[in-house]
Amino acid sequence: MHLLPVVNAYAEIVKFLYHKGGMMIKLFSWALDKEKERRVSILQKVHLFKGLRRNLLMKLLVDLVEKEYEPGELIFSEGEIGKALYIILDGSVTIAKKGKGDCAVLAELQAGSYFGELALIDQLPRFATASAQKRTTMLIMYKSYFDDLIKGSPVISSRVLLNLVELLAAYVRKNHDERT
Amino acid sequence: MMKEPDGDLLKEIRKTHHQMPRWVIGLLLTGLLAIMVYYTSGLLVLILIAGIIAYLLSNVIKRIEYLGIKRSMAVAAVYVGAGLLLIGADILLLPCLQQETRNLTEKLPEITQQAEAAFQDLRGYPLAGDVIEKILSIMAQPSHLLSNMLNMPDLFSQAASAAFAMILIPFFVFFILKDWPAMLKRTMLWIPSAYVETSIAALSEIDLLAGRYLRGLALECSSVGAMAALGLAMLGVNYPVTLGIVTAAANIIPYIGPIISCLIACLIAFIQFKSAGAVLNIVLLYTAVRLLDDFLVQPLTIGRSVKLHPMLLVITIIAGQKLFGIMGMVLAVPAVTILQKVVVIFLDDRKYRAVKTEALKHSHQIIV
């Protein structure tokens, strides 16, 4: 009987906090990291992480290794064993493939793009060379971290693996279209 | 389109720039590091302790960061939380601990006399005489024994006093915690592109192993200490809290630590009860704690993070003690485990490269 007013008061407090959530965020905005928020919005654009909740993306951002590359710096070379996925946070990257006599630029990737995703599945040699076009900041996801991520939570694993399968399906279709 | 001559020229410049001087620079840096370690080993130990504490706290900091909070704020919040916890522990444990320490200090001359008398009684027994003589000679120089065991002068004398260390360690911990991502980012800048992925592999393995070992060890020691204290209190042995803390601290050193803590508890019980039955009870208690630790606590905490052969484990601990004293004993096992793992990563990398390149030659046959 005595518990009822306490439960009611608690419910009122929860309701107040829920409705004034925006106000609470504003109140503690000085403690929030604006740069992280910006980077999380970049991660939201990465197809591999499509459908993942914001707090999971924040976890990725905190856990992954960050590296800066100077303009023209080599990221990896064609033929090297690939073991990591790269996500561009700032700057741009050129993906090129050696041909007869010169290098063919396959793609120029901007912030929010990623490359090297096949390394998360197999660890075969890279089929192209990647180099920073300008000063570039990247997040690097190593295969063992990806494996831990997949093993750690069924929600994450089903979502990320589905995204990865979608990507592979797109590659197969593209390859098939080019052949026919 | 990328021009090939530019790329080749760039590679050539990198080759000529890096190849030869790297050996010389590496050799010079190693020499410089060895000299620095020799002259500032005390300070390095303080930094090492601060590093371990920071590492243990880093998971909490990360969890706060996952909420989108600034790292500096997360560190400040952890410091406030740790301060409150310490105050809480002070309120709960300190009076009991103070009373036990005061009792122990007051009764130390009496205890020593009682111990000597008890040992005198045992002298008549065959074989016991020599052992008792040795124990009594060691007891006559307790400070010498302690300094030999802990190698404390080597640890702290060159750096600062223990009080100075108490101020310096939290100071170092704060800045290691706050600036760790920036330090890592700066280190990554120095790593050549070809080694980035392997370095990250090594880093993530180190993080995994060291994290599992250190956090597990902290949990395991606390559980073992609590179990021992509870058991000692139930047996009616004096100073259960102090002995529990000693047991927890000694448990850090594999194999040897639990034996030392058991011997100390046996000594206290023997002096208090003057009977072999009490000593037997203590031995049974410590055996039970050991079994619980081995079969229940350890699998849940440290798990299989340490995959060293028992013989290699003991050799590692002894070598660690010879080189760096008590800190060497504590850190030898995780250090060797990590080293073992990193060597395996680099060897695997070379082996994998050869195997996969061979597999790739036939990959089209597999796909088709």
CATH of the domain at A68: 2.60.120.10
Q: Is B299 on the interface with A (CB under 8 A)?
A: no
Are residues B245 and B176 part of one domain?
no
Q: Can you tell me the mean pLDDT for B268-296?
A: 87
Same domain, A59 and A121: yes
Asked if the model's pLDDT at residue B362 lies above 80, the reply is no
φ and ψ at residue A92, rounded to 5 degrees: -150, 155
Same-domain status, A41 and A67: yes
Question: Which pLDDT belongs to residue B156?
Answer: 46
Is any Cβ of chain A less than 8 angstroms from the Cβ of B204?
yes
Identify all chain B residues contacting A62, using CB atoms and an 8 Å cutoff. Answer: 62, 65-66
Q: Are residues A18 and A72 in the same domain?
A: no
Give the DSSP H/E element, type plus range, for residue A90: strand A84-90
B73 and B199 in a single domain? The answer is no
- The three-state DSSP-derived secondary structure of B68-98 is CECHHHHHHHHHHHHHHHHHHHHHHHHHHHH
- How far apart, in whole angstroms, are the C-alpha atoms of residue B348 and residue B250? 37
Which chain B residue's Cα is nearest to A37?
B68
Same domain? For B186 and B226 the reply is: no
One domain for residues A25 and A56: no
- Residues B213 and B340 occupy one common structural domain: yes
- On whether residue B131 sits in a domain, the answer given is no
A112 DSSP 8-state letter: T
Whether residue B344 lies inside any domain: the answer is yes
Task: Copy the structure tokens of residue A134.
Answer: 């300008």
pLDDT for the residue B152: 46
Residue B314 lies in a domain: yes
- What residues in B contact A124, CB-CB < 8 Å? 356, 359-360, 363
Q: Measure CB to CB from residue B66 to each of A62, A101, A102 and give the nearest one.
A: A62
Looking at residue B37, its pLDDT comes to 66
Are A168 and A122 found together in one domain?
A: yes
- Structural domain including B68 reads 26-108+156-190
Same domain, A22 and A80: no
> Hey, is the C-beta of B341 within 8 angstroms of any chain A C-beta?
no
Q: Best of B196, B351, B356 to disrupt the A interface by mutation (most A CBs within 10 Å)? A: B196
Q: Are residues B170 and B257 in the same domain?
A: no
pLDDT of B116 over the 80 cut: no
Q: What is the ipTM of this complex?
A: 0.74
Q: Left, alpha or beta for B236 (phi > 0: left; psi -120 to 50: alpha)?
A: left
pLDDT for residue B12 is more than 70? no
Mean pLDDT taken over chain B: 75
Residue B134 lies in a domain: no
> Do B216 and B91 share a domain, yes or no?
no
- Stretches where chain A sits below pLDDT 70 are 1-3, 17-27
Question: For residue B33, is it within any domain?
Answer: yes
Cβ neighbours of B328 (radius 10 Å): 20
Query: What would the pLDDT profile of B207-220 be if each residue is shown by its tens digit?
Result: 777 777 777 888 88
Residue type, A17: L
State whether B4 and A72 contact (CB < 8 Å).
no
Q: What is the DSSP string of A29-82?
A: GGGB-HHHHHHHHHHTT-GGGTT--HHHHHHHHHHSEEEEE-TT-EEE-TTSBP
Same domain, B88 and B214: no
Tell me the pLDDT tens digit for each residue of B132-153: 666 666 555 544 444 444 444 4
Q: Which pLDDT belongs to residue B132?
A: 62
Q: Residue B159: what pLDDT?
A: 46
Residue B258 lies in a domain: yes
Q: Could you say which of A68, A69, A80 has the minimum Cβ distance to residue B185?
A: A68
Q: Note whether B309 and B348 are same-domain residues.
A: yes
Same domain, B213 and B103: no
The burial of B208, by beta-carbon neighbours within 10 Å (0-12 exposed, 13-18 middle, 19 or more buried), is given as middle
> Helix or strand or coil: residue A87?
strand
- Inform me whether the C-beta atom of residue B65 falls under 8 Å from chain A C-beta atoms: yes
My answer on whether B173 and B206 are in the same domain is: no
Q: Which residues contact B237 (CB under 8 A, 6 or more apart)?
A: B243, B265, B268, B269, B272, B278, B282
Q: Please tell me the predicted confidence (pLDDT) of residue B250.
A: 87
* Residue A21 neighbours by CB under 8 Å, 6+ apart: none
Coil, helix or strand at residue A105 = strand
Does residue B40 register a pLDDT over 70?
A: no
Residues of chain A in contact with residue B197, where contact means CB-CB under 8 angstroms, are 76, 82-84, 140, 142
**Considering the domain boundaries, does residue B221 fall inside one?**
yes
Q: Considering its fold, how many domains does chain B have in total?
A: 2
Question: How many structural domains comprise chain A?
Answer: 2
Only one residue has tokens 């601060």, namely B50
Range of the domain at A2: 1-32
Note whether A46 and A120 are same-domain residues: yes
**A81 at B interface, C-beta within 8 A:** yes
**So what's the pLDDT on residue B53?**
87
Q: Are residues B220 and B361 in the same domain?
A: yes
Nearest to B273 by CA among B118, B48, B145, B107: B118
Same domain, residue pair A22 and A45: no
Longest dimension (CA), chain A: 87
Same domain, A26 and A42: no
Residue B149 has what pLDDT?
47
Classify residue B223: in a domain, yes or no: yes
Is residue A45 within 8 A of residue A90, CB to CB? The reply is no
> Is residue A28 domain-shared with residue A38, that is, in the same domain?
no
Same domain for B212 and B357? yes
pLDDT band at B363 (very low <50, low <70, confident <90, very high): very low
Question: Which domain-ending residue is among B190, B208, B238?
Answer: B190
| Claim to verify: residue A42 and residue A85 sit in the same structural domain | yes
